[in-house]
Structure 1
């Protein structure tokens, strides 16, 4: 596996979202899977990797849940203030990393993806660290894709051979990502993930195939599926 630096990689976890589609009484990152919250599972997976030196979690100001978690007192976990949108939270964490000169490399991972495999982290680091831009975990689209019209009727079938589902983590050089993301947001660009900011600037990050069980908890039924995957404990 490629060595990064003695500093290691800093993982950023934007966790300021409310998760309204879950229809729960608290944000989805604080829902329980077994004895731990979704966020604790996610952060623990990152901390378990030998090349990740620190995890920076972006949390909403006044969040009453995070201080109660075990990870809140972990020496390798830092809390920063999150923003209104995901990109704002990521930028807040990136600025902290830059100010503290924590690492040359960062990876951003969704708070609601607790089923990340260590082997996928290994592969992402190996590929992204030698790529000119960096890379993201992704999975090829398997199903037939349909483009809808305004009435939710099928307009046409989309060729799927070169389509991928973007996952996280997404790994880039910290300096390049903070500069590019800042410029993209200032220009009013629509940024849905970190790779889209790099794409906006004309860069082409690598697609690194990861496991399809690296799901993002979005709907209520996803919680049970994530629990099933975690119980299998696949690395």
Structure 2
């Protein structure tokens, strides 16, 4: 099934670039575009896309407020936000505001495609570079590492392998191929990891993977 996407950014050049990247995947289709947050909410209600891809900084209604409105009015639409390293305060706020994807405008185009597919499938996606920045914002890695390692210590070896690959930004299908498992087994491991670690989604799991030293932030 084709993944329908609403794309919202107040910069036409950015929209054109993102649209061009998404067009390289035949399974993704941009069905509507908006230049401000209020229009994004209205278009989400009209088109009910599987994914709303929102810039954080937009006129009339910023991307985070628009994300909250879309999640309330169109609960079947997953939300991913586009950010830059200049959006530190917004990223910190976004972690609790219902968006399940965090993508860098200047990131690898493959991350954009992976992120859109991940949130469309009901998961969450955190760009590895965003994860690194979030950890820097929330405290030094070394200061947080002992506690994170203690939390990860309850996992089995295979669960730690899965957690590390989540932190590296891989989708369930990619993790399955890397570990020579079927995708359903990966989902089972993830459910167990979330319960054991007390995290709610892939974003929180990815951050903990970084804090525990399971992922090289410079990779």
TM-score (norm 1): 0.33
- With CA pairs under 8 Å and 6+ residues apart, which has the higher RCO, 1 or 2? 1
Structure (1/2) with the larger strand percentage: 1
TM-score (norm 2): 0.35
